[in-house]
Amino acid sequence: MIGLLFLVQGLLAQDPSGPPVLTQDDLIRLVLARHPVARQADLQLKRGAATRLAARGGFDPKLYTDLDQKYFDDKSYFSHLDGGLKVPTWFGAEVKAGFEQYSGLYLNPERTVPAGGLVAAGVNLSLGQGLWIDQRRATLFTARLYQQATVVERQLILNDLLFDATSTYWEWVSASVGLQVFRNARELAVTRLDYVRGSFRLGSRAAIDTLEAFLQVQTIDQQIQSAEVTEQQARLAVSNFLWSADLEPLELADDVVAPDPLTWVGQIWFNPDSLSSWVARVDLDHPEIRRYDLKLATLDVDRRLKAEKLKPKVNVQYNLLTEAVGSDLVAQISPSNYKWGVEFAMPLFLRKERGDLQMARIKIEEARLGRDQKILELRNKVRAYAMEQTNLAGQVDLLQETVTNYRRMLNAEQTRFENGESSLFLVNSRQLKLIDAELKLLQTRVKFQKTGFALRWALGIGWMGN
């Protein structure tokens, strides 16, 4: 069930003397706390933690047991019992402790052990391939980088979400305040119509003047109807970003209004003289670049692993042995009782390994080029948005003065009309000019606000940075 935003949920701070107002900060707070995409962004952190936990599992100690027996014709052909504990270590060696016991009528000579069984403790060590890095360590390195990447990914998701939300919000503000501009103009037009009708009854105005005044009201009524449709569409678009704590969609109530334009922050939040320092921050702070850096680090782990495979496999194992009898097995260990072995393997041409390494280096170079291109794009976006906002700030000042002058012209023309020195046509023309100027000022101020957030988005700091 869809609820009305402030009536059902009570989410907006209300002034008892006026209707509830939805500010940009209110919207951002609601989106960050309750929007499904924001919650998906938070899940990125859990995904990173889970991935790292799974990678750390590669170093978990493992118990193992293998029992194999054969009975036939009332005879025990063999009974093989082999079990123990394996402990992988960070530096690549694997510590192992085990117990083996073999019995039966038919045993391979190599499996002949004391009747009580044999205890072994030793280590497996890779001296060639796998000494500095192996798949287990590479997986953990990659998981750590991925966990850091999820933090960056969350920030990117939230920045994009807030960019869309604030852009939609200011479109609604523009439509809402624009509708009010037409309604205010209609009040003036109706007042003028009443004045003309009164003058006609007194015989000081022609009947055609009442028709002209009425046509002005009708013209504005048509504009109001069109503006109401635009405002309702924009209101519904804002509702797409409003959700309850239980993930129920909310609808923006009809009596929730946009903030008064006089309360809008119209100052540029950055110092234009320090634009170069803001541009320089892109290389270091922007989450898109940090994502590239983490990608490069991940690719470098893969490159190291591929380079490691150029080395031959030289695996050495050494185990001390003792009988499984007595209470002090450690005291029974003798250096003369042991088992050891060496495994060696190496492809003669290493074509697969060399090809894989070349491919890893190509991927790194591609990522570096992509990073350089992204830095250039972001720097230019920052410069473009900064210049646009600076220009819009100047336009707002100019248009404010223009609106003031048009209002003076309308008031003066209205006075001349009442004194019989002007025509109704000129008064109506002055009013239409004023409406156009007010709408242009509104659109410019809205664009100024949207550009300010777009600049934050281009810098990668969203609404949470400074």
Report d(CA 96, CA 111) in Å as an integer. Answer: 19
Q: What is the pLDDT of residue 90?
A: 86
pLDDT at 122: 93
Tell me the two tokens of residue 163: 């960019």
User: Which residues, in sequence order, are CB contacts of 62 under 8 Å at separation 6+?
Assistant: 85, 86
Q: In this predicted model, what pLDDT tens digit does every residue of 322-344 receive, in sequence order?
A: 887 665 666 566 778 889 999 99
pLDDT at 9: 42
What does the pLDDT average to over 199-219? 91
Looking at residue 443, its amino acid is Q
The answer, yes or no, to whether residue 466 has pLDDT greater than 90, is no
Give pLDDT tens digits for 75-106: 999 899 999 999 999 888 999 999 999 998 88
Question: Nearest to residue 219, comparing CAs of 30, 16, 76, 431?
Answer: 431
pTM of the model: 0.85
For residues 152 and 289, is the Cβ–Cβ distance under 8 A?
no
The pLDDT mean for the chain works out to 89
* Cα-based distances in Å from 223 to 217, 254, 370, 442: 10, 20, 49, 16
pLDDT for position 158: 94
Residue type, 346: M
d(Cα 193, Cα 443) in Å, to the nearest integer? 29
Q: Does the pLDDT of residue 16 top 90, yes or no?
A: no
**pLDDT for residue 436:** 96
What pLDDT, on a 0 to 100 scale, did the predictor assign at position 268? 64
Q: Give residue limits of the domains in the chain.
A: 18-55+137-302+359-459, 67-91+93-129+312-349
Report the share of the chain in percent with pLDDT over 70: 91
| Residue 371, CA distances (Å) to 117, 159, 415 in order | 61, 19, 65
Question: Which region among 70-79, 157-166, 266-275, 427-436 has the lowest average model confidence (pLDDT)?
Answer: 266-275
Confidence of residue 40 (pLDDT cuts 50, 70, 90): very high
Distance CA 247, CA 9 (A): 12
How far apart CA 233 and CA 230 sit, in angstroms, is: 5
Ramachandran quadrant class, 375 (left: phi over 0; alpha: psi -120 to 50; beta: rest): alpha
- Domain 18-55+137-302+359-459: which topology? Outer membrane efflux proteins (OEP) (1.20.1600)
pLDDT per position as a tens digit, 65-77: 999 999 998 899 9
> Which residues are CB-neighbours of 40 under 8 A, at least 6 positions away?
157
Token duo for residue 180: 């009010």
Share of the chain above pLDDT 90, in %: 67
Q: What is the mean pLDDT of residues 133-154?
A: 95
Using DSSP's 3-state secondary structure scheme, residue 241 falls into coil
Instruction: Please give the pLDDT value at position 6.
Output: 47
DSSP annotation string for 347-410: -SS-HHHHHHHHHHHHHHHHHHHHHHHHHHHHHHHHHHHHHHHHHHHHHHHHHHHHHHHHHHHH
pLDDT for 279 equals: 85
- Cα 19 to chain centroid distance, Å, stands at 34
Least confident of 251-255, 271-275, 365-369, 455-459: 271-275
